[in-house]
Structure 1
């Protein structure tokens, strides 16, 4: 009897800063690509299914979802140090039709597809938050250096027309740099926190559920029985 290990996702409680930053910034382009392919292949496949032209397109969509799901598990592990088990049902040893039906009926396929579809809006929010907080913090920290290269050697907030605060010397720039250090600390905490939340979100979609583990055990046992009988 084959026993499938309990689904797990383990690693650091807080991901490394560099990996977290890279992961969050990559979510948007990967999400855009995934969303575009899902919508394009899905709509084209369903629209032409009546003339059977949609069958290969939908098959390609299924393959994309499962392949991209594996890539996402690898990306989460490589950048966030969180391991996620593969959740897929074993494919029958023979019979192309049965293998495709197994992929189609496998709940993990549709969970992968759902995750990839949601990656675009989630990645957009994460990208905006991360870029904004890091841009503000780095801009303030570097203000004592670059203010002199601005027009007239002056930095005015919020604009040159409405000057609430003016930085025209290193002394006046230092308080802003100190504020930038505070923002940098916030940026680090936010980056790690968002990455940890996304890792939990990814694990929720991409790891095997309890019911899926039971189905995997039954499938492996059935395959073992077929192999022994053969």
Structure 2
């Protein structure tokens, strides 16, 4: 089989083609219990700004059992628009070890034990998709999205070197400029096992050498917003 055909079958090209007659699923072991957290912090506090500085340089290198990612957006607070960070994490282990790692790697977050929960790994999918009222795992079989069907634009970049702090300040400051929709910036760490996979190993090339993915997102509804975000 030629290389081009191999990539096309796996979805690596402007159009996919081929006939798949057999496949294998490689499972990865996970512990019985994982620890998770989902916290919000006000970005006007210097400690949270320092957190992103540290996160850029450490998130891809910390314990391979720990994943910490963040979302930045604006929020109304007592009639004032403020910048906030939603910090989420999963650790393949218990809360005590998670807190020990977070205190060592990201003390700026000030994560507390009461902000963490232990659960089965599959239950963490419910947790991070806001099913937190005792729903059954059967909710994962529901193919109907519970998200509002609003218009949106998304762009992703892959970061190989930490972004300078002054550039980060400018980038996050631009979130204040979105006045008729909702703008967010997501950052997801790479590293870990992904650093062992070369960019030529599979069609998705963003593997070894990337610190994290940055995801720029804007969402809106209505003709006025459409004019600004698409036509303009």
TM-score by length of 2: 0.23
Look at both structures and tell me which one has the larger radius of gyration over its CA atoms. Answer: 1
**Greater relative contact order (CA < 8 Å, ≥ 6 in sequence):** 1
Higher helix share: 1
